[in-house]
A and B are shown apart, each in its own frame.
Chain A
Amino acid sequence: MKKQPKPRVAFFDFTDCEGCQLQIANMGTTLLELTQLVDIVKFREIMSEEAEDYDIAIIEGAISTDNDVKRIKKIREKAKVLITLGACAAIGGVNGIKNRTSLEIAKQRVYGDMAGSINTINAMPVHKVVNVDYIINGCPVYLPEVISVFKCLLMGKPYVVPNYPVCAECKMNENVCRYEKDEECLGPVTRAGCNSWCINNGNKCYGCRGLLENPPIDAAKDILLKYGLTLEEVLGRFTLYNDSMGEKYDKEFK
């Protein structure tokens, strides 16, 4: 193979908890293997050096201030490839909860007296502001998927996020269905790709990977209602992670 200079990777965070970057920092030897293929030039969780030039920008976090908008646009200009890392960047994530109320009320709730000096806008996933080349879903990201995305990137092919529900993976893992135990679970309407990570470990699906492209909302609603949830509760479950993209689901539900 031709020897090419390794692409330079920089990590950036916006409105998030930096937990997805932490996942990557905790990758262990695989991270070392990955550095055979790419140069990490900016990643504040693991290094103090910071380079200004990069080829691949990895973005964690949602866009939620005017400043964020300016900053992400600048990064996009510079980066050849832009990857969103985690639910906040991919679908807005939990940050979207603030979009449920007016910005004034949200500011008041969080900052009280200081609310007046806070600049904030509705939380948005990165792709609402700039073009995104690769999306890595999840809260936090699922490491095998992160590695798959890197491989796709380096091979020059798109990464296709599965457009089938988590159930498909969950059944292959032979888990006892949460519904079987009279618990609700967002698996049926959430995009797979996480290998039903949460359910494998005894939890349920919270829908952190975002809803399917063509979610069978009516049927899903029937099921959730059958298991004793009210419409508000159902909406609440659906929108924990998906609120910033909520219009679509509001429309489907109401």
Chain B
Amino acid sequence: MKYAVIKKEDLNLWVKHLMKKAKLYAPKRKENLFVFRQVKDASEICLSYIPTILPPKKYYFPQKEKLLKFNINPFLTSKAIEGFEDFILFAVHTCDIAGIQCMDVVFRDGPEDPNYLNRKDKMTIIGIECLQYCDEHANCVSMGNHVPRGGYDLMMIELSEKFILHINSEKGEKLVSSLDYIKEADEKDMISLERLREAKKKMFKEEFSGSLPEIYEVFDKRFNSSVWKDIAKQCVACGNCTAVCPTCYCFDVIDEVELSLNKGTRYRMWNSCLMDDFAKVAGGEDFRKGRDARQRHRYYRKFKYPVDKFNRYFCTGCGRCTRSCMAGIKLVETVNSLLKEP
């Protein structure tokens, strides 16, 4: 079975079934925005949502992650996490799935990161295809992430009264097989899917004024562009854009000791290249001074450096950095003004 269908009225049944298999994390409303949270009931899930405040990266690359447990005297170390839990990410947008693929590349690149890979191993991804733009900040079409491009176990695509499920892995297959309310898709369903994709083409348009290779080239040339100075004037260096980015993975290492002052845990914590001390060494030298250089670095880590290193753009087009910037720095505008520069 490659494509299956489930009636909308049976969705709750299926969600209940999934919750029995593993912890289920899905988009929920939080005030006027959305967040991924563990859900206990299908009614909590919001299938139509603009990208959540934090991407699902908090589940496979947590904000504060235990690296090891230690004992100061005598010197002992032990595993910080004994077993990793199975979990399902439900209704993940295709842009966020692209984010997961980027992180895979990073943490698989030697030396491999066992924490990430262990978590990833326990993760099942059920995506949902967006049929319309979430808002004006996304640039998923230019990044090629507005349609499913793999990296998931199941992909849900909404048709009028049912969902088509694209089965993309054995793990995914297991979650839909032998359930009487999930059936193989028939020819009519496939035609509907094709029509839907056609309709999508008319609605979704490239957001950048140039192609990705052009953008890469422009980044190669515009290291000293005045655009970076302009952004720096607006930037408050709050670090929102890096925290909410599905492909930002910089971290700091911290030790926390218990009150015994002998036992403790070493953690890694999200860190941001926009922070003042990020590139400062103990001797006092700051190797990336100024908010212009720091913002430039953030952009280059999306459009230039990972392309050189992994042959992959690290912008997913989710639009979170723009959405979360209180100063109104807009990624699409930045890239377009670089493209416009003579």
Contact B327 A219 (CB under 8 A): yes
Given A219-B235, A223-B236, A177-B261 contact (CB < 8 Å): no
Mask for A189-233, Cβ within 8 A of B = 1, else 0?
100000000000000000000001110101110110010000000
- Interface size class on chain A is 35 or more
Contact A151 B261 (CB under 8 A): yes
**Which of the residues A34, A168, A212, A222 comes within 8 Å of B327, measured between beta carbons?**
A222
Chain A nearest Cβ from B153, distance in angstroms: 25
A44 to B238, CA, bound (A): 40
In the bound complex, residues from chain A placing their C-beta under 8 Å from that of B190 are: none
Q: Does B262 contact A (CB under 8 A)?
A: yes
Mask for B250-278, Cβ within 8 A of A = 1, else 0?
00000001010110000000101001110
Contact B243 A220 (CB under 8 A): no
What DSSP secondary structure best describes chain A's contact surface? helix
In the bound complex, residues from chain A placing their C-beta under 8 Å from that of B276 are: 163-164, 212-214
In the bound complex, residues from chain B placing their C-beta under 8 Å from that of A37 are: 259, 261
Contact B237 A177 (CB under 8 A): no
Mask for B280-308, Cβ within 8 A of A = 1, else 0?
00000000000100000000000000000
Contact A219 B275 (CB under 8 A): no
Residue of B nearest to A220 (CB): B236
A60 to B326, CA, bound (A): 35
Q: Does B35 contact A (CB under 8 A)?
A: yes
A46 to B321, CA, bound (A): 48
Q: Does A3 contact B (CB under 8 A)?
A: no
Chain B nearest Cβ from A151, distance in angstroms: 6
Mask for B24-55, Cβ within 8 A of A = 1, else 0?
00000011110100000000000000000110
Given A165-B239, A167-B239, A213-B276, A176-B327 contact (CB < 8 Å): no
Residue of B nearest to A185 (CB): B326
In the bound complex, residues from chain B placing their C-beta under 8 Å from that of A163 are: 275-277
Contact A177 B326 (CB under 8 A): yes
Chain B nearest Cβ from A58, distance in angstroms: 17
Residue of B nearest to A184 (CB): B326
In the bound complex, residues from chain A placing their C-beta under 8 Å from that of B236 are: 165, 167, 188-189, 216, 219-220, 223
Q: Does B209 contact A (CB under 8 A)?
A: no
A220 to B291, CA, bound (A): 13
A235 to B235, CA, bound (A): 19
Q: Does A77 contact B (CB under 8 A)?
A: no
A9 to B326, CA, bound (A): 44
Q: Does A180 contact B (CB under 8 A)?
A: yes
Contact A33 B259 (CB under 8 A): yes
A165 to B327, CA, bound (A): 15
In the bound complex, residues from chain B placing their C-beta under 8 Å from that of A1 are: 73, 262
Q: Does A154 contact B (CB under 8 A)?
A: yes
In the bound complex, residues from chain B placing their C-beta under 8 Å from that of A165 are: 236-239
Q: Does A49 contact B (CB under 8 A)?
A: no
Chain B nearest Cβ from A228, distance in angstroms: 13
In the bound complex, residues from chain B placing their C-beta under 8 Å from that of A147 are: 259
Chain A nearest Cβ from B319, distance in angstroms: 14
Residue of A nearest to B323 (CB): A180
Contact sample, A vs B, 9 pairs, CB 8 Å cutoff: A151-B257, A154-B261, A172-B243, A187-B238, A189-B236, A213-B276, A214-B276, A216-B236, A219-B235
- Extra pairs beyond A151-B259, A188-B238, A219-B235 (16, CB < 8 Å): A36-B259, A151-B261, A167-B238, A167-B239, A168-B238, A168-B243, A171-B53, A171-B243, A176-B31, A177-B240, A188-B326, A212-B276, A216-B236, A219-B234, A223-B236, A223-B327
A-B complex: 7 closest residue pairs judged by Cβ atoms = A167-B238, A171-B243, A179-B326, A188-B236, A172-B63, A168-B239, A176-B31
